[in-house]
Amino acid sequence: MTLQEHEINLMRYFDGEMDSQERKDFQKHLETCETCKKALEEMSALKEVTDSMKIADLPEKVWDKYWDNVYNKLERSVAWFIFIMGTLILNGYWIYRVITDPGLYTIAGLGVVLTLVGFAILALSVLREKLTVNKHDRYISEVKR
Protein backbone atom coordinates (compact mmCIF):
# COMPACT_ATOMS: atom_id res chain seq x y z
CA MET A 1 0.00 0.00 0.00
CA THR A 2 1.08 3.56 -0.64
CA LEU A 3 1.49 6.20 2.04
CA GLN A 4 -1.63 7.97 0.78
CA GLU A 5 -3.69 4.77 1.07
CA HIS A 6 -2.43 4.28 4.65
CA GLU A 7 -3.44 7.85 5.50
CA ILE A 8 -6.90 7.29 4.06
CA ASN A 9 -7.25 4.02 5.97
CA LEU A 10 -6.04 5.73 9.13
CA MET A 11 -8.77 8.36 8.81
CA ARG A 12 -11.39 5.71 8.05
CA TYR A 13 -10.25 3.72 11.09
CA PHE A 14 -10.26 6.77 13.33
CA ASP A 15 -13.71 7.84 12.14
CA GLY A 16 -15.14 4.31 12.52
CA GLU A 17 -15.93 3.96 8.82
CA MET A 18 -14.37 0.50 8.36
CA ASP A 19 -16.25 -2.77 8.50
CA SER A 20 -15.10 -5.35 11.06
CA GLN A 21 -12.70 -7.17 8.70
CA GLU A 22 -11.04 -3.97 7.49
CA ARG A 23 -10.74 -2.84 11.10
CA LYS A 24 -9.01 -6.10 12.11
CA ASP A 25 -6.64 -5.86 9.15
CA PHE A 26 -5.77 -2.27 9.98
CA GLN A 27 -5.21 -3.11 13.65
CA LYS A 28 -2.69 -5.73 12.51
CA HIS A 29 -1.03 -3.06 10.38
CA LEU A 30 -0.86 -0.73 13.40
CA GLU A 31 1.08 -3.41 15.34
CA THR A 32 3.87 -3.27 12.76
CA CYS A 33 3.79 0.36 11.57
CA GLU A 34 5.12 2.89 14.07
CA THR A 35 4.32 5.83 11.78
CA CYS A 36 0.61 5.01 11.59
CA LYS A 37 0.49 4.14 15.29
CA LYS A 38 2.04 7.50 16.20
CA ALA A 39 -0.30 9.36 13.83
CA LEU A 40 -3.31 7.62 15.42
CA GLU A 41 -2.11 8.61 18.90
CA GLU A 42 -1.68 12.22 17.81
CA MET A 43 -5.14 12.28 16.25
CA SER A 44 -6.65 10.81 19.41
CA ALA A 45 -4.88 13.39 21.59
CA LEU A 46 -6.03 16.21 19.32
CA LYS A 47 -9.63 14.96 19.38
CA GLU A 48 -9.53 14.75 23.16
CA VAL A 49 -8.32 18.34 23.43
CA THR A 50 -10.80 19.72 20.91
CA ASP A 51 -13.71 17.85 22.47
CA SER A 52 -12.95 19.46 25.83
CA MET A 53 -12.73 23.01 24.41
CA LYS A 54 -15.56 25.45 24.87
CA ILE A 55 -16.06 28.82 23.24
CA ALA A 56 -16.04 31.55 25.85
CA ASP A 57 -18.81 34.12 25.77
CA LEU A 58 -17.93 37.76 25.42
CA PRO A 59 -17.86 39.67 28.67
CA GLU A 60 -21.08 41.48 29.51
CA LYS A 61 -19.13 44.74 29.45
CA VAL A 62 -18.60 44.41 25.69
CA TRP A 63 -22.28 43.72 25.03
CA ASP A 64 -23.36 46.57 27.33
CA LYS A 65 -21.08 48.98 25.49
CA TYR A 66 -22.32 47.74 22.11
CA TRP A 67 -25.99 48.10 22.98
CA ASP A 68 -25.51 51.46 24.73
CA ASN A 69 -24.93 53.02 21.34
CA VAL A 70 -28.24 54.56 20.20
CA TYR A 71 -27.44 53.86 16.56
CA ASN A 72 -27.16 50.09 17.22
CA LYS A 73 -30.54 50.03 18.96
CA LEU A 74 -32.22 52.16 16.30
CA GLU A 75 -30.67 50.28 13.41
CA ARG A 76 -32.28 46.94 14.28
CA SER A 77 -35.66 48.47 15.08
CA VAL A 78 -35.82 50.38 11.80
CA ALA A 79 -34.62 47.39 9.81
CA TRP A 80 -37.23 45.08 11.34
CA PHE A 81 -39.95 47.68 10.80
CA ILE A 82 -39.04 48.08 7.12
CA PHE A 83 -38.74 44.34 6.64
CA ILE A 84 -42.12 43.68 8.28
CA MET A 85 -43.80 46.47 6.33
CA GLY A 86 -42.40 45.13 3.06
CA THR A 87 -43.58 41.64 3.91
CA LEU A 88 -47.04 42.91 4.86
CA ILE A 89 -47.29 44.84 1.60
CA LEU A 90 -46.24 41.80 -0.42
CA ASN A 91 -48.69 39.55 1.42
CA GLY A 92 -51.47 42.11 1.11
CA TYR A 93 -50.76 42.44 -2.59
CA TRP A 94 -50.74 38.67 -3.02
CA ILE A 95 -54.12 38.40 -1.30
CA TYR A 96 -55.47 41.26 -3.37
CA ARG A 97 -54.25 39.64 -6.62
CA VAL A 98 -55.84 36.35 -5.69
CA ILE A 99 -59.19 38.08 -5.09
CA THR A 100 -59.36 40.63 -7.92
CA ASP A 101 -56.42 40.16 -10.31
CA PRO A 102 -55.98 43.77 -11.52
CA GLY A 103 -52.59 45.01 -12.72
CA LEU A 104 -51.27 46.91 -9.68
CA TYR A 105 -47.55 46.16 -10.07
CA THR A 106 -46.39 49.28 -8.19
CA ILE A 107 -47.57 47.91 -4.84
CA ALA A 108 -45.65 44.68 -5.43
CA GLY A 109 -42.59 46.67 -6.44
CA LEU A 110 -42.79 48.77 -3.27
CA GLY A 111 -43.14 45.60 -1.20
CA VAL A 112 -40.15 43.98 -2.84
CA VAL A 113 -38.01 47.10 -2.43
CA LEU A 114 -38.95 47.51 1.26
CA THR A 115 -38.29 43.83 1.90
CA LEU A 116 -34.87 44.00 0.24
CA VAL A 117 -33.93 47.27 1.99
CA GLY A 118 -35.00 45.86 5.36
CA PHE A 119 -33.05 42.67 4.75
CA ALA A 120 -29.97 44.64 3.67
CA ILE A 121 -30.11 46.79 6.83
CA LEU A 122 -30.48 43.65 8.98
CA ALA A 123 -27.56 41.99 7.19
CA LEU A 124 -25.37 45.07 7.70
CA SER A 125 -26.38 45.21 11.35
CA VAL A 126 -25.40 41.58 11.89
CA LEU A 127 -22.12 42.18 10.04
CA ARG A 128 -21.33 45.20 12.23
CA GLU A 129 -22.10 43.12 15.34
CA LYS A 130 -19.80 40.32 14.15
CA LEU A 131 -17.01 42.82 13.48
CA THR A 132 -17.44 44.26 16.97
CA VAL A 133 -17.33 40.76 18.46
CA ASN A 134 -14.22 39.89 16.47
CA LYS A 135 -12.40 42.99 17.76
CA HIS A 136 -12.91 41.81 21.33
CA ASP A 137 -12.62 38.05 20.80
CA ARG A 138 -9.54 36.82 22.67
CA TYR A 139 -9.15 33.78 20.46
CA ILE A 140 -8.85 35.81 17.28
CA SER A 141 -6.57 38.50 18.73
CA GLU A 142 -4.23 36.30 20.77
CA VAL A 143 -3.71 33.29 18.51
CA LYS A 144 -0.80 33.55 16.12
CA ARG A 145 -0.70 31.45 12.99
Same domain, 128 and 81: yes
The CA angle 52-58-62, to the nearest 5 degrees, is 170
Q: Please give the mean pLDDT across all residues of the chain.
A: 77
Same domain, 135 and 74: yes
- Which pLDDT score, from 0 to 100, does residue 47 have? 87
Same domain, 132 and 64: yes
Same domain, 131 and 71: yes
- Which pLDDT score, from 0 to 100, does residue 57 have? 74
Same domain, 69 and 48: no
Q: How confident is the model at residue 99 (pLDDT cuts 50, 70, 90)?
A: low
Other beta carbons within 10 Å of 12:
15
End residue of a domain, out of 52, 73, 89:
52
- Which pLDDT score, from 0 to 100, does residue 145 have? 43
pTM: 0.38
Q: How confident is the model at residue 76 (pLDDT cuts 50, 70, 90)?
A: confident
Same domain, 67 and 136: yes
Same domain, 69 and 32: no
d(CA 7, CA 22): 14
Same domain, 72 and 42: no
Kindly state the average pLDDT of the residues 70-84: 78
Number of domains in the chain: 2
What is the domain extent for residue 93? 60-142
Stronger pLDDT, 28 or 54, i.e. the higher one: 28
Same domain, 13 and 66: no
- Which pLDDT score, from 0 to 100, does residue 125 have? 87
Kindly state the average pLDDT of the residues 4-10: 84
pLDDT digits (tens, 9 = 90+) for 39-66: 889 989 988 888 888 777 777 777 667 6
Same domain, 40 and 102: no
Same domain, 47 and 73: no
- Which pLDDT score, from 0 to 100, does residue 98 have? 59
Same domain, 11 and 80: no
Question: Side-chain half-sphere of 79: how many Cα atoms within 13 Å?
Answer: 15
Closest-CA residue to 138 (of 76, 59, 68, 72): 59
